[in-house]
Amino acid sequence: MGVRVGMSMLLWGPRVTEEHDAVLEEIAEAGYDGVEVPITGVPGAELEALGRRLDALGLARTAVGFCTEEVDPASPDPAVRSAAIEHLVELARGAEALGADLVGGPIHSAYAHFPDRAPGAEDFQRAAEVLHAAAERAGGVTLGVEFLNRFEAWLLSCTSQTVELLDAVDHPRVRAVFDTHHAHIEEDSTAEALARMGRHLGHLQVSENHRGVLGAGQVPFDAVFDAAARLRYDGWVVVESFSREDPAFGNGLRIWRSLSPSPMLVAREGLQLVRAQLARVGLLS
């Protein structure tokens, strides 16, 4: 298939509606292969309708979702873990409705929920069992497990933990999502951490340390794309950035200042950087 380049719609807020149709059109015209769509809590019919609008624009798509305390795969409470399995299956159904074959994100544990202790072997085991059970019912949809930085995730905040979890899950449709923003905070080396994801790598999100314009910050994109090429990566490369376009969403993600004059500028400059990098390392299809 070859690498495809996507733009995360999270830059415009937590939900894609008809108000974003003009933005989607601009993204397609800019030359993106597809978009990444937040689907947590969005009804299937709405996702199907969005899928049809994306079809008309020639945009492929991936999905992004998350877990909360009520549906926490790492919870010690068996009832919560059962609910987590149902939630993950629902995310897979949502991805299917949208026409996506991957839903990624912090689906290993509750987003920004921090028990006052370090995670242990039993927490990883619980999350692994939930992810495996959900993947068995996820149809053709791949579940993408994304480690986040320590301020946003408790269970998983680096490549080593992600590899440990995915080894325990041991399911072909549970893969790793690697986001350069989180790795830049947590790892000794962002590129080496990407390389160590190895066969588990299923999805790549490129994002700056400050979440703004790619190439303007501290993420070492030359080394990152060299590592992706050595892995012969052939999945999606999704440009991820955040803004205060939706003020409540910006508050939740602690985006307190403008990172770019406009979201479309971030999208255009991101595509330019990613394409140049893919061409440089020979990954452009």
Which residue ranges make up the site for Mn ion (CB under 5 A)?
A: 179, 205, 240
The CB-of-194 to Mn ion minimum distance in angstroms stands at: 13
Select 126 or 225, whichever has its Cβ closest to Mn ion: 225
- Specify whether the CB–CB gap between 240 and 205 falls below 8 A: yes
What backbone torsions phi and psi does residue 87 show, to the nearest 5 degrees?
-65, -45
CB of 6 to Mn ion, least distance (A): 12
| Distance, CA of 69 to CA of 247 (rounded, Å) | 24
Nearest residue to Mn ion by CB is 179
Give whichever of 149 and 160 is closer to Mn ion, judged by the CB atom: 149
> Hey, which residues does 237 pair with through a beta bridge?
5, 204
CB of 152 to Mn ion, least distance (A): 10
Whole-angstrom distance, CA of residue 238 vs CA of residue 243: 16
C-beta closer to Mn ion: residue 133 or 277: 277
In the complex, minimum distance from the CB of residue 56 to Mn ion, in angstroms, rounded to a whole number: 27
The pair of structure tokens assigned to 6 is 């996507």
Q: Residue 189 has which token pair?
A: 């080396």
Nearer to Mn ion, 44 or 217 (CB): 217
- Closest separation in Å from C-beta 181 to Mn ion: 6
- How near is the Cβ of 82 to Mn ion at its closest, in Å? 27
Q: Which is nearer to Mn ion, 75 or 241 (CB)?
A: 241
**Kind and range of the H or E element at 179?**
strand 174-179
Q: What are phi and psi of 133, to 5 degrees?
A: -60, -40
Closer to Mn ion at the Cβ: 83 or 153?
Answer: 153
Which whole-number Å values give the CA distances from 34 to 57, 114, 137, 155, 184, in the listed order?
Answer: 9, 34, 26, 30, 25
Closer residue to Mn ion (CB): 72 or 240:
240
CA 177 to chain centroid, in Å, comes to 6
Least spacing, CB of residue 209 vs Mn ion, in Å: 13
- Among 38, 30, 35, CA closest to 275: 30
For residue 209, what are the CA distances in angstroms to 95, 190, 240, 249, 282?
28, 11, 11, 19, 25
